[in-house]
Structure formats: C-alpha cells, structure tokens
Chains A and B, each alone.
Chain A
Amino acid sequence: MRANTWQGRNKLSVETVPDPQLLNARDAIVKVSSTAICGSDLHLYDGYIPTMRKGDVLGHEFMGEVVELGPGVGNLAIGDRVVVPFPIACGSCYNCKRELYSVCENSNPNAAIAEKLMGHSPAAIYGYSHMLGGFAGGQAEYARVPFADVGPIKIESDLTDEQVLFLSDVFPTAFMGADMAVTPGDVVAIWGAGPIGMFAAASAKMLGAERVIVIDRFDYRLDRVAKHTGADTINYADVAPMDALNEMTAGRGPDACIEAVGLEAHSANPAIHAYDRVKQAGRQQTERPEAVREAILACRTGGTVSIMGAYGGFADKFPLGQMMNKGLTIRQGQCHVQRYLKPLLGRIEAGEIDPTFIISHRMKLEQAPEAYEIFKNKKEDCTKVVLTP
C-alpha cells in the first residue's frame, strides 16, 4: 500500500510499504477514506519528537471502512464506517475504566522507553514515535487498529467524512480543553487560532462562555475563527495580549485560559523568542513554552489554565510562582478521545457545529509532503489539510 513516511527532519516521502496485518485478536484493519495532518505532526516533521525512525508511517487522524477483523472484536462488522481515536486504549486497565483513555496502561509496547523520560508511560498513539508505541499511522491506504472493540466509533448516519473525521483528534481535544476550564458565564481566552484553537472557541461557546477571545499572529486564521464562532480576536503582533485582555475584562483577566499552541510557540518579544528558539535548537529545552507562560500571567487570580498544546519534555523559565501565588488551576493532558466520541457526534448530528469550517486544503495522500510544507509554513492561508488516498 501507499503511505506517508517520515524520512528525517523536514523530509517525508510517500512510499509503497507492506500492508498492515492483524497482529492481535482485537485488531481491525481499516481502509482509510480520509485522513488529516495534525499540528502535532509538524513537531515530528520538524524533528522535535525523539525516537522517530526512518520509514515510520505518520498520521493519527483517520477514518475509513473496516475490511478485516480479528476474532476478538465483537462490536464491528466488515464494511462498517468508523472514525478512529488517536490514543490507543485497551478499555480494561484502571485508567481506561475511569475514562482516562490517553493514559491507558497497556497499549504502549515500548512503555519502557517512555518510562525513562516520563516516569510512567502514557497510551500509545498512531504514527507518533517509537516511544509512544511504534504503531504505524493512518496517512496511508490502510491502517491497523488495535483494540478495535474499544476505540473506533461507527458512523451510521449519512454525514460526510469531512464532518466526522475530526472526531479522531482535534475536535475532542479542543472540546476537552474547554471542558476542563470553562463554566457558564466565563470569559475565555484561547492562545492559538489553529484547528484546536478554532474548535476550542466553538466548544467554549457550546459550554456557556459569554465571551471568547482568540489570540494569534495570523489575521487569516483570526478572521476564520471570528467568522465561524463569533469569537473576538487579538493579533499579538499588533497589541500585547496582557494589555488587551485586561482592557477587555476591566482588569480581571480571563476566567479560563486555553493554550492551543504547543512546543513551537512564537513570542511577540524578539528577545524571548530568540532565547527559547536558541535553547530549543541546542536541545537545552524541548519546549518553547511562551504561550503557557503568557496564559499563566494573563489568567485571572483563581482562574483555570488548560494546556492542550503538545509538549515533549522540559521547559525553562516556567512561571511556577505566578501559577502558585495566583491560585490557578492547571488542567492538561492528551485528550481522552473515546470519552467524547458519542456526545460530540451527537452535537454534529444535531447541527450544533459543522466541523468542516476549519478545512482550507483538500489534497491527495500522494501530495502529503507538499501538504506538510504548506501547513507548516502557513502558505495559501492554510488552516487544515484533509488527505484522501
């Protein structure tokens, strides 16, 4: 089959690789009908996530048709149309039983590597390094889905691929970011107007936020999120977010701050950006944590900061004292996607949201390397790329 493979930093190629096989009794093989590039895939592309190997198949946002089933999968049938959540979860360990699917205790066969870095291993993720399992990803014609009796959600309505594809990651991830922080009546600030930030804005409104303010440096992204969610926007290249947020809230600061940027953040202050960039390039820190720093400083006292960007290890100059003295609540984590699949599919079916509003590019799987370049460099006003085999 054809698959988008990682060949090194800033190097991808679509290759012919062996078809996936059933390896465990609870596996399914899915013929991919649509797949997307995630902002966190760019961290792999840029070489910031360790334990990638040449030839690894990328992609953790995908859906398709079940074409093969292991004997241990009782709830799916050949031909079912499914969306696959990005964290692989067994459904039976202590954490899964408590719906903490993204920290499943059993799905990562390479847990020993992750334990060395983190103390304990989170769940495995498709196409996201050997430390997180070494599972082949879904930017391919076919994908193997372990624990297929737990993860995939069947789509039985006539919704299009594009309407349900983002249940695999970005919509639930953003929704969880809002769910962990937002209470009705809140003023919510969101750092980053990428796919997560856009869905977070929509989710915050669904959860009763009175005002949502999205911060980014690209007007085309801010315009899109404002148009589709009714959020207010701040372009931090023009105004300092702290000033603007304080002004907009008469000095209180936002009640909930959602960080949707991740480890390659930019700063409006060239000195701070240079500092983070040089230290990250020299591998003296794995993160550029400017968005989290700013969210902590901007949040009202006693408020909640929800960190949904992807991070890999250690950050320098983290405002621990501000976080502590302001009495902030910090929430974070990879999304427990399986927990949100049904309720969010319900919201899509009910017409509360049309997730297609984030899509800017539709391309073929064969164009994946070009698509990554466009997405990474924000060419052609790119916000989200959907690939079809």
Chain B
Amino acid sequence: MGSAGESGAGLGKALGWASFALGAPLVAIPGRVARAVGLDDTPGTRWTARSVGVRELVAGAGILAQGRKPMPGVWSRVAGDGMDVALLISGLRSARDRRKVGAALAAVGGIAALDILAAARLSRRTHPSRTSDGSAFTVRAGVTVNHPAEEAYALWRDFARLPEFMTHLRSVSADGTHWVAEAPVKDAVEWDATIVADEPGRLLSWKSAPGADVPNSGSVRFERAPGDRGTEVRVELTYEPPAGKLGNAVAGLLGQEPRQQVTDDLRRFKQILETGEVVRSEATPEGRRQSVVLAKRAGAPGGEGSKA
C-alpha cells in the first residue's frame, strides 16, 4: 500500500481515464447509451447524455493534464454541478409542468456545496493509528458493550479466552504470563509476559518479559459509558518488532491495517459478551483457521468474511 498521496494520484489518474471512458460514448453515441441505460432515445435524452458526456471529458482532461498531482476531483465536480443546474433549468423549461420549475431550481440552487462535502468526506483517509517511530508501533481502538464494566473486565481477565476474539493469538495461559501468536513466516512467536496492572472493573495491562523476540505491551481500560449505555472498552497495543526477517513477519502480525484488525477483535469481544459467541455467516464458517488468518495478513480488508 502506497502512501495516501501516491494512491491519491493513482486514483486521480484512474478517475481521469474513467471520465474519458464514460464521457466519450455519451458524446459520440448518446442515443445508443440512452437506450443502453433504458431511456427512450429522444432528442431530449440525447441532449442530456451528451451534456453529461462533455462534462466527463472536460473533467477527465482536467485531471489527466495535471499529471502526478491531479486537480482535486471536487473542483471538477463543482464545475459539473454548474452544468447540472443548467441542465435542470433547461429540462424543466421544456416540461409541461412549469410550476415545478421554481421548486426544482430551488432544490439545486446552492447545493453544489453538498458535492464538495461528500467528496471531501469520501476522500478522507482512515484515521492513522499506526504511529511508526522507527520500529515500534501502537494501535488504539475502542468498543462500547452493553454490559457493566465488571463483566467486560471479567471476560478479558479470562486470558485463556483472548484467542477467541483476538485472531492473531494462538493461545494465552490462564494467568496471562505466556502468549503464543500466529506468525506469517515463522510458525509462531511466543513470549512470557507479566501483568503490570490489574484493577478489577477498571484496567488490565501487561508487558512482555525482557528477552522477548517481539517486545510488546498492552492495556485495556473499562469505563462506564454516559447514561445507560454500558461500558466503553479501550485497548492499546504496542509492538517493537526487531529488524530483519522476523521483524517484518511480526510487523505483519496485525495485518496491514492493524487498527482494523484490533477493531474487528473488539467487535468479536462484544459479540461474545452480548450474544455468547462470535457471530458467523455462511461467508464466515472458516472461523480462525490459519489460512483465514494468513489471508487477512495479506491485506484483505474487513473481517473474516472478506476471505473466500
């Protein structure tokens, strides 16, 4: 995965070509396109299709002309919205029901701003929680459960059950002092750990013992949610993968989207607490099989069901 900037440029370019692909037939053969999308092939629909096509070509050219730093898509969209207004004005003028004209015009007037918002929102990247300083990274995620803090704490304190919802773990000893994690290259990584803090109903934190292959630490906090909304559970995990091959393998321990992985883990924690077990659909019968875990490490998005 490239940086947001690089992938942004790539996306922009792709959008530029997509605009051409969409725009060219609309301009060249508007009648056929209109029929293809199920419209009557009338002069009106041809005109509409051609107008939208011209806009696509203009937007595409604009984006591609900018080379590696494409003009932000929103601005070509804004130009497009100007055309939409013109289009609606014209379309409505020819309509039988002129009284609708005023209302529909009011509907589009000034609404170009909505496109800006939508585009800006869509292009916002996932909040980067993986803060890489050299080799160490920290992942934070949270979930709200509809249970008292004491019960949420008790499930987490049952260390041997952690692998039920944390899919990168193979096993944890009941006292939380020995952890085994699945590792993509090496078969498994294991380490001893000590419980640093244990405050029933409030906090659990642990830290790997000196000499671990992958020094790591973690904590989970339980706080009453406002009103009658259960408990806010917040997890923080820090890993310090060593340099070299093992380090690379372990860096991938939580997949290429560590925050997503931990968020999914917390979702499973919530399911166990609230419904008794991890919920599975036909698309997720594989459970925690190694292949699934590995597939996820390869960067597959989303939860278990995104495999297959």
* A interface residues with partner B (beta carbon < 8 Å): 20-21, 23-26, 57, 72, 90, 92-94, 97, 105-113, 116, 124, 130, 133-136, 144, 146-147, 240, 242-243, 268-275, 277-279, 281-282, 293, 297, 314, 316-322
Contact = CB atoms under 8 A, between A and B. Distances in A.
Given A112-B260, A279-B52, A106 B281 contact: no
Contacts of A320: 111, 114
B103 A269 contact: no
Contacts of B96: 240
Contacts of B305: 109-110, 130, 133-134
Given A243-B97, A269-B95, A322-B106, A278 B270 contact: no
Chief secondary structure at chain B's binding surface: helix
A274 B146 contact: no
B303 A109 contact: yes
11 contacts: A106-B274, A106-B275, A113-B301, A133-B283, A144-B282, A146-B279, A242-B103, A270-B45, A271-B44, A317-B108, A321-B109
B78 interface: no
B175 interface: no
A189 to B, nearest CB: 16
A57 B274 CA distance: 28
Contacts of A130: 283, 305-306
Interface string B53-67: 000100000000000
Interface centre among B94, B263, B274, by most A CB within 10 Å? B274
Contact of B111 (A26, A282, A297, A318): A318
A112 B302 contact: yes
B107 A110 contact: no
Interface stretch (B33-41, B162-170, B201-209): B33-41
Contacts of A24: 277, 279-280
Given A242-B99, A271-B87, 14 more contacts: A26-B275, A112-B306, A133-B281, A135-B283, A269-B91, A270-B42, A270-B91, A271-B44, A272-B92, A275-B87, A275-B91, A277-B39, A278-B26, A314-B118
Given A271-B48, A322-B106, A23 B92 contact: no
A274 B302 contact: no
Contacts of A242: 97, 99-100, 103
Nearest to B46: A274
A319 B107 contact: yes
B198 to A, nearest CB: 28
Given A243-B97, A273-B39, A110 B281 contact: yes
Contacts of A109: 278-281, 283-284, 303-305
A282 B45 CA distance: 15
A240 to B, nearest CB: 4
Contacts of B109: 321
Interface of B: 22, 26, 33-34, 37-40, 42, 44-45, 48-49, 52, 56, 84, 87-88, 90-92, 94-97, 99-100, 103-104, 106-111, 114-115, 118, 144, 146, 229-230, 260, 263-264, 267, 270-271, 274-285, 301-306
A90 B114 contact: no
A251 to B, nearest CB: 13
Contacts of B48: 271, 274-275, 278
B111 A135 contact: no
Contacts of B110: 321
A273 B179 CA distance: 61
A271 B96 CA distance: 12
B42 A112 contact: no
Contacts of B229: 94
Contacts of A322: 103, 106-107
B168 to A, nearest CB: 15
Given A274-B44, A293-B107, A269 B97 contact: yes
Contact of A282 (B52, B95, B97): B52
A23 B305 CA distance: 14
Nearest to A271: B91
A242 B146 CA distance: 46
Contacts of A275: 48, 52, 84, 87-88, 91
Contacts of B282: 20, 23, 57, 134-136, 144
Nearest to B87: A275
B84 A274 contact: no
A2 to B, nearest CB: 16
Contacts of A97: 146
6 interchain residue pairs of minimum CB distance: A271-B91, A134-B283, A112-B302, A274-B48, A319-B107, A240-B97
Nearest to A146: B279
A314 B87 CA distance: 20
Interface centre among A20, A134, A322, by most B CB within 10 Å? A134
Nearest to B40: A270
Contact of B306 (A25, A110, A297, A321): A110
A106 B301 contact: no
A279 B109 CA distance: 18
Nearest to B279: A109
B1 to A, nearest CB: 15
B45 A274 contact: yes
Nearest to A21: B285
Given A134-B284, A322-B103, A72 B276 contact: yes
